[in-house]
């Protein structure tokens, strides 16, 4: 029998059976599943082969090939964030201030995994705080980053469920990512009326009952408003987002303002640091490449050098 993972916590996984030819109109059963033998790394969005046990348990036997996989990693460890997703909503806010470095890193990891990203600029009710980050948002707009502005707390139901955000969510599996406190869970609670309840149940049953999100979980968006198969994944906030699994070349080609200039440096093996005739440096000096983004890139690259 096939199933999808809705949430993972250590060795236990919350799964939902995938409809087969014999399942008819019956509601897909959810189960708690464990893996057999050696621990394997599964994550939300994975499709797996299971053996059901009784009414509500199962053993996972095998994993189906993944369409994509979002990872973050440092030199010691890889963390699988989600698999088989259509798009990422990076939830940002001006208060607490979002980290541009983390936003860039998420963008790089997503581009390298071929998953499109949209910035969800939340807390748009905080007008004064938002004004302070507008110049940076404009830069990313000029780099063709799609953005949707919203207030998960204050927007009217019609705006959230029928506006631009709803259009973006329609028919897709969307992963919400972002630092702690940006409003990911608040947004899921607004979109999925019974999400809150489930979150509490799950955290009581399976975790310590922390206030903030401690594991990723996938919710169906309500079929009253959304096409079947529209899903949203809430995830825990992060403070670091390492790219040790990405190559230097992948990173450079994933920066849109770099891509067109790569290959124009004097030396084929230019590292874009101090080399004469570097096209990236020329663009930096002319203000065509943003200094702060370049500094973020040098940080990412220096970690890479240490991890190899
Ligand atoms: N002013 C304002 N506050 C908001 C908005 N959305 C969320 N918040 C507040 O931001 C705080 C953090 O929200 P959460 O939804 O828990 O944030 P999160 O991104 O899920 O955080 P983690 O689970 O720790 O990653 C809460 O106090 C929310 O009420 C908004 O649109 N406007
Ligand atoms: Mg949360
Ligand atoms: Zn160069």
pLDDT in tens, 26-60: 678 999 999 887 667 899 999 999 999 999 999 99
Q: Give 234-271 pLDDT, tens digit per residue.
A: 999 999 999 999 999 999 999 999 989 999 999 999 99
Q: Classify the C-alpha dihedral 48-52-57-59 as positive or negative.
A: negative
Q: Which residues are within 8 A (CB) of 232 and not within 5 positions of it... i.e. 6 or more apart?
A: 169, 173, 174, 176, 188, 191, 192, 218, 219, 221
**Beta bridge partner(s), residue 137:** none
- Burial degree of 151 (CB within 10 A; 0-12, 13-18, 19+): buried
**What pLDDT score does 204 carry?**
47
**What pLDDT score does 39 carry?**
64
User: Of 97, 128, 183, 203, which is best to mutate to test ligand 1, by the most ligand atoms within 8 angstroms of its C-beta?
Assistant: 183
Task: Measure the CA dihedral 200/206/208/214, to 10°.
Answer: -70
Q: Closest ligand 1 atom to the C-alpha of 238?
A: 25
- In angstroms, what is the span from residue 284 Cα to ligand 2's centroid? 37
- Is residue 72 within 8 A of residue 238, CB to CB? The reply is yes
Instruction: Single out the residue of 306, 280, 305 nearest to residue 295, CA to CA.
Output: 280
Q: Closest ligand 1 atom to the C-alpha of 214?
A: 23
**Residues having CB within 6 Å of any atom of ligand 1:** 91, 122-123, 125-126, 151-154, 178, 180-186, 212-213, 236-237
- Is residue 266 within 8 A of residue 278, CB to CB? The reply is yes
Give the tokens for residue 131: 């004004």
- Is residue 50 within 8 A of residue 59, CB to CB? The reply is yes
- Is residue 170 within 8 A of residue 226, CB to CB? The reply is yes
d(CA 175, CA 169): 10
d(CA 47, CA 286): 49
- Is residue 90 within 8 A of residue 72, CB to CB? The reply is no
Residue 24 confidence class, pLDDT cut points 50, 70, 90: low
Q: Give 175-226 pLDDT, tens digit per residue.
A: 999 998 899 999 999 999 888 644 444 444 454 444 467 889 999 999 999 9
d(CA 219, CA 48): 18
State the average pLDDT for the chain. Answer: 91
Q: Closest ligand 1 atom to the C-alpha of 155?
A: 31
- In angstroms, what is the span from residue 273 Cα to ligand 3's centroid? 7
For residues 1-7, give the mean pLDDT: 96
pLDDT at 290 over 50: yes
Domains and CATH numbers, the chain: 2-63 (2.40.50), 69-234 (3.40.50.300), 248-307 (1.10.40.50)
Q: Give 71-86 pLDDT, tens digit per residue.
A: 999 988 999 999 999 9
Q: Give 144-175 pLDDT, tens digit per residue.
A: 999 999 999 999 999 999 999 999 999 999 99
pLDDT at 136 over 50: yes
d(CA 104, CA 96): 17
**What pLDDT score does 308 carry?**
56
d(CA 128, CA 239): 25
204 or 8, higher pLDDT: 8
Identify how many contiguous H helices and E strands the chain contains and give both numbers.
10, 13
Ion ligand 2 — residues with CB < 5 Å: 184-185, 213
Q: Closest ligand 1 atom to the C-alpha of 178?
A: 19
- Is residue 185 within 8 A of residue 199, CB to CB? The reply is yes
- Is residue 143 within 8 A of residue 256, CB to CB? The reply is yes
- In angstroms, what is the span from residue 195 Cα to ligand 2's centroid? 12
**What pLDDT score does 200 carry?**
41
d(CA 268, CA 277): 11
d(CA 292, CA 100): 9
For residues 118-123, give the mean pLDDT: 97
**What pLDDT score does 186 carry?**
92
* H or E element that contains 16: strand 12-17
Residue 287 confidence class, pLDDT cut points 50, 70, 90: very high
**What pLDDT score does 306 carry?**
67
- In angstroms, what is the span from residue 83 Cα to ligand 2's centroid? 19
**What pLDDT score does 295 carry?**
97
Alpha carbon nearest to ligand 1 atom 1, residue: 123
Q: Closest ligand 1 atom to the C-alpha of 189?
A: 15
Tell me the ligand closest to 149's alpha carbon: 1
């Amino acid at each position: 029998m096939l199933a999808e993972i809705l949430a993972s916590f250590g060795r236990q996984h919350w799964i939902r059976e995938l409809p087969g030819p014999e399942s008819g109109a019956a509601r897909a059963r959810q189960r708690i599943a464990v893996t057999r033998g050696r621990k394997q790394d599964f994550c939300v969005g994975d499709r797996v082969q299971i053996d059901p046990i009784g009414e509500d348990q199962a053993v996972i036997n095998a994993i189906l090939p993944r369409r994509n996989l979002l990872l973050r990693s440092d030199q010691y460890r890889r963390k699988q964030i989600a698999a088989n997703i259509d798009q990422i909503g990076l939830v940002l806010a001006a208060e607490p201030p979002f980290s541009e470095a983390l936003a860039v890193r998420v963008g790089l990891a997503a581009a390298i995994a071929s998953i499109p990203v949209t910035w969800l600029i939340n807390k748009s009710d905080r007008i004064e705080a938002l004004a302070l980050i507008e110049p940076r948002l404009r830069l990313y707009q000029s780099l063709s980053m799609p953005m949707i502005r919203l207030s998960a707390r204050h927007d009217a139901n019609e705006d959230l469920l029928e506006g631009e955000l709803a259009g973006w969510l329609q028919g897709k599996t969307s992963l919400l990512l972002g630092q702690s406190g940006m409003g990911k869970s608040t947004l899921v609670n607004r979109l999925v009326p019974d999400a809150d309840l489930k979150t509490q149940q799950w955290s009581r049953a399976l975790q310590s009952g922390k206030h903030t999100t401690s594991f990723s979980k996938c919710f169906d968006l309500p079929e009253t408003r959304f096409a079947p198969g529209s899903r949203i994944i809430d995830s825990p906030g992060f403070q670091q987002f390492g790219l040790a699994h990405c190559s230097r070349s992948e990173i450079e080609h994933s920066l849109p303002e770099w891509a067109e200039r790569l290959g124009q440096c004097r030396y084929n093996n230019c590292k874009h640091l101090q080399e004469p005739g570097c096209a990236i440096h020329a663009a930096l000096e002319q203000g065509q490449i943003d200094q702060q983004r370049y500094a973020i890139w040098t940080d990412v690259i220096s970690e890479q050098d240490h991890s190899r």
